[in-house]
Amino acid sequence: MHVVVVGAGEVGYHVADRLVGLQHDVVVVDVEPRRLEYVANHLDVAVVEGSGTSMATLEEAGIQKAALLLAVTNVDEVNLVTCMSAREVEALTTVARVSNPTFYRDARNLRPAAFGVDVLINPERELALETVRLLKTTAATDVAVFAGGAVQLLGLMVAPGAPVAGRRLVDLAAEHGDRPILTVAVERDGATIVPRGDTEIRVGDHLFVATKAGEVATALELVGYQPATVRRVMVTGGSTEAYYLSHLLQQHRVQTTLLIEDRQRAQDLAEELDKVLVLHGDATDVELLELEGVGGADGFVALTEHDEINILSSLVAKRAGARQVITLVNKRDYIPLARHIGLDAAVSPRLSAANAILRHVRRGSVTRVATFEGSDAEAIAFTVSPASPIAGKSLAEAGIPAGAIVAAIVRGTEVVVPRGHDRIEVGDSVVVFTLPEAAQAVSEYFPA
């Protein structure tokens, strides 16, 4: 599939990277030659210099043969006009990144169809939603949901004293056979493996676990965490992400304190968030965080625009006793570091954007893709077509390629976290967790 990506910033770069990985043919457009040069040097894509709002530029990028146009610059208006420019192109799906909350507040403001936009994505809001999911699952480092939330894929660090520590998966399966919880991957010493029955779980392992929504608490207990409710959360930063998160927490009736360094921004958000305590102050000020009672908070979420400030304030919050700390990290290199120094979970705007976009990149039988920060692994949802070589077979008969594992089978409203004897039928939605080396083989099992 030919894809035109307008915008070579963090989001555009990351999305282009993922699309190349999915074997798509990608052209990246940007007005800034230096950004394009970086993209061209690092990714297997073509680049075109110019504005996506110009049809001539889009034509140069091959818009006439493209199936997908992704307008993902950091300027909402540019993205909308880009999609508008390409509205006459036949058989083209257009995706615009639009972040400004005011566009969404009033239905009169934004009629995507009027702009020729097929899909609107809002990475900042996606990030806020992901943060809420992380807060709800307390100990999780990652949460990806499928089948409308019925299937959950959780990243979890194995805590000291966890019931699973020192045990082999085969023994755990024998003990908890009735529990629909499946370990789909183990990340250890920087490498991700799809485990086998004789894989022994160790304290400090980063596990990816597939489970039904109703069994999340059990999964948490097995890796050594107590389920807990979230009553009070402190958020730092005046970013769009901070706005969306505070708004969501307010809707969930979570008592929220929002600490913003910029006075004008603090005032603006104070007016919009009527149930949030908005305070003006410096998020790195240890004394201020302590005076505001960060130690008694169930969650602390650092969402300023600066990675270093977020990491620093998260460390202060953790030390003061905040139960769960979530840190916004832009720089890819900082993400493993954040986990290493004891922060609970990192969220990244780039990853949220990529996940939001990839969800709409339907290729053949793929209905949904989730990626994980700091790992090349992907979770992909496929629809099983009659052409699938494994339709009607059990998982044991199907012979899923090494490096991949079926995390869940969804049949209508029924969800199965499968074992070898479970069958795959035509029409099922199948969630597969796969390492990069197995991705191609897996996709051949699920033709359109």
Partner 1 sequence: MHLREFFAPDAISLALHATEKDEILKELIGLLKLDEKSDAMLYKMLKRRENLGSTGIGRGIAIPHCRSLVVQRLRVAYGRKPEGVDFRAIDEKPVYNFFLIVAPPLEVSNQYLPVLGKIAQFAKEPEVPDRLESLRAPEQFLTLLDEKGA
The binding site for partner 1 (CB under 8 A) comprises: 231-232, 255-257, 259, 263, 266-267, 270-271, 274-282, 285, 287-288, 291, 293, 296-297
Of 167 and 319, CB closest to partner 1: 319
Find the shortest distance in angstroms from Cβ 297 to partner 1: 7
Residue among 127 and 259 whose Cβ is closer to partner 1? 259
Q: Minimal distance in Å, beta carbon 299 to partner 1?
A: 12
The residue (of 122 and 313) whose beta carbon lies closer to partner 1 is 313
Nearer to partner 1, 48 or 266 (CB): 266
* Element at 403 (helix H, strand E): none
In angstroms, give the least distance from the CB of 259 to partner 1: 8
Q: Which is nearer to partner 1, 173 or 286 (CB)?
A: 286
Q: For residues 443 and 3, give the distance between their C-alpha atoms in angstroms, rounded to a whole number.
A: 19
Q: Is the separation of the CB atoms in 321 and 296 below 8 Å?
A: yes
For residue 253, is it left (φ>0), alpha (ψ between -120 and 50) or beta? Answer: left
CB of 268 to partner 1, least distance (A): 9
Q: How far is CA 185 from CA 197, 282, 303, 338, 379, in A?
A: 12, 39, 29, 20, 11
How far is it, in rounded angstroms, from Cα 8 to Cα 6? Answer: 7
Smallest distance, Å, CB 128 to partner 1? Answer: 20
Instruction: Tell me how many degrees the CA angle 71-18-417 measures, rounded to the nearest 5.
Output: 115
CA-CA distance, 414 to 427, in Å (whole number)? 13
The Cα–Cα gap between 94 and 82 comes to 9
Q: Which is nearer to partner 1, 313 or 348 (CB)?
A: 313
**72 to each of 75, 200, 355, how far by Cα in Å?**
8, 43, 13
Q: In angstroms, what is the minimal distance from the CB of 315 to partner 1? A: 19
Q: Which is closer to partner 1, CB of 248 or CB of 277?
A: 277
Residue whose CB is less far from partner 1, 63 or 297: 297
Residue 290 C-beta: closest distance to partner 1, Å? 8
Q: Output 200 or 261, the one with its CB closest to partner 1.
A: 261
Q: What angle do CA 335, 218, 210 make, to 5 degrees?
A: 55
Q: What is the 3-state secondary structure (H, E, C) of 129-183?
A: HHHHHHHHCCCCCEEEEEHHHCEEEEEEECCCCCCCCCCEHHHHHHHCCCCCEEE
Dihedral sign for Cα atoms in the order 252, 238, 233, 354? positive
Q: Which of 365, 344, 375 is nearest to 424 (CA)?
A: 365
In the complex, what is the shortest distance from the CB of residue 260 to partner 1, in angstroms, rounded to a whole number? Answer: 9
Q: Name the minimum Å distance from CB 372 to partner 1.
A: 33
| CA-to-CA dists, residue 149 to 152, 154, 210, angstroms | 6, 12, 12
- Residue closer to partner 1 by CB (options 159, 286) is 286
- Residue by residue, DSSP assigns 351-368 as HHHHHHHHTT---TTEEE
Q: Closest Cα to residue 79, out of 71, 70, 89?
A: 71
In the complex, the smallest distance separating the C-beta of residue 329 from partner 1, rounded to whole angstroms, is 25
